Structure 1
């Protein structure tokens, strides 16, 4: 018989059975690389089966034929399963086997010890898997029964091999092994190339040895955490504390940040490479504490310097590092102050240019604001990853320098006024305006500034006045652009904010239809060469002020004028037309000039038309003559005559002791055929701006009163201070009400008996139903 396959022992002879099994176990544990034949495997399995089902304890039992390892043997219910002796002998064998391995480890140190440990671990666990299969029958029956009965010291065979390694090998060598592992990792941190698979194998063994004492089927990380993770994290903390303190003392802050960033990345990779994932949080937290939190102050101190020189890459690095330690708040505060200062400085730089270029003032101002915003918005996006806190800091800073800067010293309403004028320059016909595609981008930029404007009611008032002029004078560059801008304002402030603006466009469409109907109605009637059209606009929607002077309509257009009035009154009985001659305009064709073959066309205001048409009767008038014939007030007549004299359409003749006369210049010459005489008068523009601000103040008082009544009607009773807070809250999206103005409005409403003070409580108000 082959000596490598000894005969099966008698099933009732424990000594013979164990000698038989021990021989096979020895082969598995020490010579597995030579291979294990299937027959040898089956003989070992059968020897265990025969002993466990022997009839020594139950003589009346007749065993059934042996089946293979996969067979179901649960029918042998009469068997008094034997297994305790085999389990005990196996446990003792493993102790002896591991003692030999342990003693052999004393011959090795450092990296050689790790190689010895990992080689034996891998060999041992491979052999253990074979043993587990060989002892399957014992596991399925005797071991299972013992575990079911609550014996905590009995394990399945594979678990037994791990427990034996833990108690007889690991606990004796773990300190030396761990010292070797830490030394190897430190060498790697110092830049040496090391055999990382050694660390990986040690880590895997520490993890595998984690067994729940109350339930051996449940793995734990207790061994790994206590014997590997804790000393590893502690060693990492000591290593990086020493390195960082030394590096900071010898290098710049920016260089240190690069070093810290690289070290943190290395530790992230280290976890992926050979550590258990559960170590990630504690390791990274410890590294962040040592590398970032402990050096937070020097980084915060360097932040301003990086901002001053726009060091985008270093700013991003600092943000990334400090976001790990929740140290961003000082950066946000510093960033806000820096942006605020940069914005104010930018406006100061262009303030002189603004004062010298009044016509370009809005564009210069808005461009300066946008340039600062774009620069720091890009910084927030790229360097600070669009983090909400930095976005809020940018918004606070922009709101501050947009509303309170050198240009706004006299009034916080200056920003919205200039922004509205900038919009007007964009949306008015001009060769300098951007193309349609570019215009949309510029309008989006306008909305960026608009977002920060506090007095949005001021912008609305100026914008609506300028829109009205563009529509009335047909100077709007594009209806699509106008609609786009209104849509943006609607999206930002709601329907109520833009309802009147949209109504203006509706009125323009209705006026066009009305003119078409009028021309169709009067197509056969004589009109003395007058081409007449009119805009009928709703008083409630259009911010147009009435004329400040009376005016006699020239007889050349009087007939057509009366004809339209009659047409409109027949169509809309009960409506009253208020004529705004100061906003009207016309064209006069001339044929009196000697130097022009075809004559000139004068583009004039209605008042200029009334003046010039007088010269169909005579070529020279005094100021009083023209005042009597036109019925214009002296101030208006004087300003209009000044324009005509400056354009040399009229000549001013002054003689001693005689009234000055305005004579028609028969020698008038111009390179242009169409001459624009209807130009704005700066004094009138200034008066209009002042009037607009006055109406804004009146509107604000009405808005505050309406808000107070609305709040009190809902709440019935309210403390004075709470009412003030709610009014500010409700109106803050339009403007920031002043507390003193709110108090005045409360007093007005008390006088009007909308609200009253409660008796005995001067600080409480109640609604008067």
Structure 2
């Protein structure tokens, strides 16, 4: 046991043996260092730390600290004697590398001191902390930071800035002393001994100053360039300068600085001159300078805030509105009504042009898409009769003898685009429903599949409720075909020998009341039908009533039509005419001239205006002659026409629905009444959910609910709120706050 007992040691003697080796290591002196000598120093440190007498580890630590302080003081004197920036920085890095390497070797020699006494006396985590006590590697770094770094920090940073300035002036993203920059930055990162924020020293003393200097440098560059080059050239140079500065910092500065230096360049070169740059944007758009627009957008996108992008969006929106309004003005109201298809195609062409531009130049960015949508809505809805024009365009497209199938699908997509832009979708629906009913009743639709496809487009935008009645109209037509087939079978079985069945061929459309846009005034008129027609009407009524319990038929003869054969000038003609026209023409079998009053009395057509209306197409083709005052109508017995089939049926499906007055935003009375009911229902829905709501919030939520039908104005909303208050559904609480009370 006595062999393991530590022997007392003489500290001064041992330290005199250790000190020269430590100085050699921290000074970087190239002297042979044998294994035996290394072991001797290590044992000496161990012996001092384990000395059984008075504690000597503390003295050993502070002796080591004195050597390190003495060495870094010498380094400061050496560095102060160097004048050149690059030379100074090289000397600084070399001395740090030597000092750091040497201190790491010293740490290995003093490993026992690190493990035991320093852990016990650590100034932050030790059991008996002593100020200034740290593990040897950290101690060496702290001494360097407190003496060399504190003395030389400004000169080190200035040397870094000088190297960057030299590289910028040369126009190269690579520079001669890049390795020195990398090493210097690494030294700052190593000296960042703050465990909570290791980058604090680097950020405060290097990054902040570097970014400020970069901003100052490029601010002068921007002023000079803007005075001498065009905006297009300026943006091109800015992109190159930002990329060069980014590459200049990559691998040398910290990665966070690399990102921030590009943002700084963009801020100084772009953001501070946003207004001047945006002033040239219209020129880029007019000349279709896609590359310049793309470059502008990318630079704006790199800015930390969205203000520049918002300016870009505003300018783009304004330009699209201007382009769209030029198209709207080109198609004056009368011209657009005559050529609705051309007008709709022109609107779509404007939108498609800018869709392509936004895709190519702006990467289909959400803000730019929003600008496009808002601008297109503005100029498209500036035409007060857009719903009518869109419905008429659809009608022309879906009517037989239109374009081929491939063109129809393309044009349906175009109609869907304009429909999405439309504010007054409910007005369009009324026009569309009436024109659709005309096509379905008269059998003039190009193809049922295309009709269904278009309705699906409308459903995708507005939902199932919006198209429910339209879909029911198609369903009625299919059911009517089944009913007609069943009726013929029943008729042939029970009344097959009746003479009227062989004189005319009939088909019937059974339409659901309230679904089809047919005025109630059209039904159950007392027109006097031909005997064979009246027979079929009575027979079908008997069949249908027996087959469908609880249902009742209302005949709409005004919308019925047929093919009437007649012989004039020894030639057979077939006239496609309305039922009223057929009834009127049959009167001319009895005599060739009739007054309008006589025709009205004989046919029992509801009013004399309807008589004139249905005779006008026959007068136009010169089948009849009319007196100047339209009191007499005479059959033209010399009537001739090259074609044997004549179409004389009048278009009457939308006569009862008047469009808004040109140049105003007022809606037809029936639309206004419908909107009141829908808006009041939406208000009640919101109030029932919220219980209390401000006017602005109520406007926002009701507009969102009704966006697939129409956009209510503030005054219209207020008007309906007042109506609901009168009905005691809600009441005013305070400061335009409303409470639901129903």
Question: Normalising to structure 1: TM-score of the pair?
Answer: 0.79
Q: Name the SS for the 2:538 alignment partner.
A: helix
Match of 1:71 in 2: none
> 1:255 aligned to 2:223?
no
1:303 aligns with 2:274: no
Q: Shift in Å at residue 465 of structure 1?
A: 0.7
Return the match for 1:734 from 709, 712, 725: 709
1:662 corresponds in structure 2 to 635
SS in 2 for 1:275: coil
* Counterpart contact for 1:428–1:470, Cα < 8 Å: yes
Residue in 1 that maps onto 2:199: 221
Retained in 2: the 8 A contact 1:701–1:745?
Answer: no
Q: CA deviation at 1:517?
A: 1.5
Compare 586-595 and 720-729 and name the one that shifted more: 720-729
Offset of residue 250 of structure 1: 2.0
CA shift, 1:646, in A, is 4.8
| Count of matched residue pairs | 705
Q: Which of 495, 508, 521 is equivalent to 1:534?
A: 508
SS at match of 2:308: coil
Matches within 5 A, 1:257-656: 257-279=235-257, 283=261, 286-323=264-301, 324=303, 326-351=307-332, 355=334, 359=338, 361-404=339-382, 408=383, 412=384, 414-435=385-406, 439-524=408-493, 525-526=496-497, 527-545=501-519, 546-547=521-522, 550-588=526-564, 594=570, 601-612=574-585, 620=592, 622=594, 630-632=603-605, 634-644=608-618, 646-647=620-621, 650=623, 652=625
Stretch of structure 1 that moved more, 312-321 or 692-701: 692-701
1:145/1:375 CA distance change after superposition, 3 Å: same
- Return closer, same or farther for 1:378/1:277 CA change in 2, 3 Å cut-off: same
* Alignment partner, residue 178 of structure 1: 157
Give structure 2 stretches of 5+ with no counterpart: 1-6
1:690 pairs with one of 644, 658, 679: 658
* Pair 272,455 (structure 1): closer, same or farther in 2 beyond 3 Å: same
Change (3 A) 1:174 1:719: closer
Say which SS state the counterpart of residue 661 (structure 1) adopts.
Answer: strand
Q: RMSD between aligned alpha carbons? A: 4.2
2:176 maps to 1:194: yes
Larger mean CA deviation between 193-202 and 285-294 belongs to: 285-294
Q: Counterparts in 2 of 1:55-70, with a 5 A limit?
A: 55-57=52-54
1:356 positional shift: 5.2
- Alpha-carbon shift at residue 634 of structure 1 (Å): 4.7
Note closer, same or farther for the CA distance 1:425–1:126 as it changes in structure 2 (3 Å cut).
farther
Unpaired runs of at least 5, structure 1:
1-9, 58-79
Query: How far apart are residue 482 of structure 1 and its match?
Result: 2.5
CA gap 1:218/1:688 in 2 versus in 1, 3 angstroms? closer
| Counterpart for residue 14 of structure 1 | 11
1:521 is displaced (CA, Å) by 0.8
Give SS of 1:327's match: helix
What are the Cα deviations for residues 12-69 of structure 1, in whole angstroms up to 9, with x where unaligned? 2334433433444355446687886655544433332233223344xxxxxxxxxxxx
Closer, same or farther: CA 460–138 of 1 in aligned 2, 3 Å: same
2-structure distance, mates of 1:51, 1:185: 51
In 2, the alpha carbon distance for the partners of 1:748 and 1:165 equals 82
Larger mean CA deviation between 517-526 and 333-342 belongs to 333-342
- CA 1:114–1:766 in 2, change beyond 3 Å: closer, same or farther? closer
Q: CA distance change for structure 1 residues 283 and 35 in 2, over 3 Å: closer, same or farther? A: farther
List aligned pairs for 1:123-202, cutoff 5 A. Answer: 123-147=98-122, 148=126, 149-190=128-169, 191-192=171-172, 193-202=175-184
Which deviates further from its counterpart, 715-724 or 453-462?
715-724
Higher RCO by CA contacts (8 Å cutoff, separation 6 or greater): 2
Structure 1 residues 135 and 676, CA, compared in 2 at 3 Å: closer, same or farther? farther
1:725 & 1:52 partners in 2: Cα distance? 82
In the other structure, the counterpart of 2:4 is: none
Deviation string 1:174-194 (CA, Å, 9 cap, x unpaired) is 333332221111111122532
2:239 counterpart SS class: helix
1:86 equivalenced with 2:60 (yes/no): yes
- Alpha carbons of 1:490 and 1:158: their partners in 2 closer, same or farther (altered >3 Å)? same
Q: TM-score scaled to structure 2, two decimals?
A: 0.82
